[in-house]
Amino acid sequence: MIIRDLFAPLTDLEALCRRFELDVRILHEIKTTRYLRGRTPVLKLGNIDLAWEYARDTRDHARFVDMLRVLPQVFDVILYFIHDHPVFYNNSNNPQAPVQTQLAVTLYRMGRYGNGASVKDIARIAGISEGSVDNYTEHCLVAIESLHDIFVRKLTPEEKEVEKKWMDEHLGFVGSWRDGWVMYDGTIVVLYAKPGLHGDAYYTRKANYGLNVQASTCLCCLLAVELIFCMQIGNVASNLRIVDYSHGMTGSAHDSAAFAHTGAAKYPDWFFDGEEFAWADSAYTVNSRTIPVHKQPASSIYKNALFDGVVSHLRVRSEHCIGVLKGRFQCLRGLRVNINSNKDHVDALRWITAAIILHNLIIDVEGHDHTQDLLPRHGRDEEAEDRGPRHAPMYQENDNDAKRRQLVMELVAYKCM
């Protein structure tokens, strides 16, 4: 406009006013137009609303679970807990999408890994933009994390007694063994790509990249997840509930190093009462509060082998816990988070935390029996693919082994009766 007026000035006042008015309209249009070059609108015809049709008929509930990983009644419970969270409300003139829709998109995304978990694929299924997929997920993760202390907690004395009775029933005898009411194990949460920040630290013995997760369950719910973020999980055997966990260490970390950050390891006298202790595999260090199976060559001794066989039978429950968790939330088998900063690492851990919270919530609503259908979706072969073979150092004499020797002698005395 300036160049035009310099080389083609107008002398007529009326023509000058018309040009000025035209220039003002052009500048106003430029300022109020978001895109100078128009964009072709993206066709949005998602089918995630099929879930609400599946929820109407109990015969279609299996299809609802395939889509959103939970039963319709469980979905309603999760929605009840989070729908009033402030993250879903703002002062904008454009309200957010319904919380029901945001939760459905998040659960659908958590149930997939590989190419099916890409943001573009999720957006096509949901009929929304790629940016909305990330926004919905972020909102729901924040809301679910607010439920942490409600659903991930230490058991009450009454709940511990239920686990100890489960031990009595499955062992066939009563003794100090019943004090081992929780189990610890580790698993790998695989990342879909090598992290850009310290990527080699995430490299696992299975030649993938991941996080190490350690967790504990009551004997009925023993879980140890070694993510390509390293996570330690403890669970209880009767219902596969996770009661303690740690994550944040990379896939190259050993289980015993990750276990050191769990509540049971850092605050044993708070976590355990009296003579209580946790069961674990041979990767862990033996002491009065952690009883692992024996390492070589001690595991070749008959009485130790007998002990290890019985403990291994109990520890199947921990593998079931991992199978249920990763079978339901398969994002843990190929987490699509690009780790290029410390914040990205923390964001990846939030997916794991949300999965653990929802795992416990679902058990509270559905009960343990309904989780069994998910075990085939992440069995022993799938876990071996994620984690690789177990390994442990050779056995060394340990002054803290007195508790385990006592348990071995109790078992041998019972078998000889």
For residue 6, pLDDT beyond 50: yes
Residue 82's nearest CA partner among 64, 96, 65, 62 is: 96
Residue 390: the pLDDT is 57
Tokens of 248: 């944040």
Residue 229: the pLDDT is 41
**For all residues of the chain together, what is the average pLDDT?**
85
Coil, helix or strand for 231? strand
Q: pLDDT higher for 69 or 42?
A: 69
Residue 72's nearest CA partner among 287, 323, 362 is: 362
Question: Sorting pLDDT into bands at 50, 70 and 90, what band is 251?
Answer: confident
Q: How far apart are CA 241 and CA 128, in angstroms?
A: 35
Q: How far apart are CA 411 and CA 293, in angstroms?
A: 14
Residue 178's nearest CA partner among 283, 56, 285, 274 is: 274
Coil, helix or strand for 39? coil
Cis geometry, peptide bond prior to residue 297 (ω within 30 degrees of 0)? yes
Side chain identity at 162, as an amino acid letter?
V
What average pLDDT score do residues 365-389 get? 73
Which segments of 263-341 does DSSP mark as H helices, in order? 263-266, 268-271, 302-328
Full-prediction pTM beyond 0.85? no
Side chain identity at 101, as an amino acid letter?
T
Least confident of 51-60, 250-259, 306-315, 347-356: 250-259
Conformation bin of residue 240: beta by default, left when phi > 0, alpha when psi is -120 to 50: left
Q: How far apart are CA 95 and CA 82, in angstroms?
A: 17
Rg value, the chain, Cα: 28
Structural contact between residues 103 and 82, judged by C-beta atoms closer than 8 angstroms: yes
Residue 322's nearest CA partner among 134, 123, 188 is: 188
Least confident of 139-148, 186-195, 339-348, 372-381: 372-381
Residue 153: the pLDDT is 87
Residue 284: the pLDDT is 86
Least confident of 123-137, 333-347, 388-402: 388-402
The residue length of the chain stands at: 417
Q: What are phi and psi of 217, to 5 degrees?
A: -130, 160
- For 158-177, letters b (16+ CB in 10 Å) and e give ebbebbbebbeebbeeeebb
Structural contact between residues 324 and 240, judged by C-beta atoms closer than 8 angstroms: yes
How, if at all, do strands 290-292 and 229-236 pair? unpaired
For residue 61, pLDDT beyond 60: yes
Q: How far apart are CA 154 and CA 244, in angstroms?
A: 7
What angle do helix axes 61-68 and 99-110 make, rounded to 10 degrees?
Answer: 80
Q: Which residues, 6+ apart, have CB-to-CB distance to 354 below 8 Å?
A: 110, 140, 141, 144, 145
- Report pLDDT digits (tens) over 81-132: 999 999 999 888 888 999 999 999 999 999 999 888 999 999 999 999 999 9
Q: How far apart are CA 188 and CA 206, in angstroms?
A: 10
The residue extents of the domains of the chain are 2-32, 50-145, 155-417
The listed range with the strongest mean pLDDT (34-48, 100-114, 182-196) is 100-114
Burial category of 120 from C-beta neighbours within 10 Å (exposed 0-12, middle 13-18, buried 19 and up):
exposed
Q: How far apart are CA 226 and CA 359, in angstroms?
A: 16
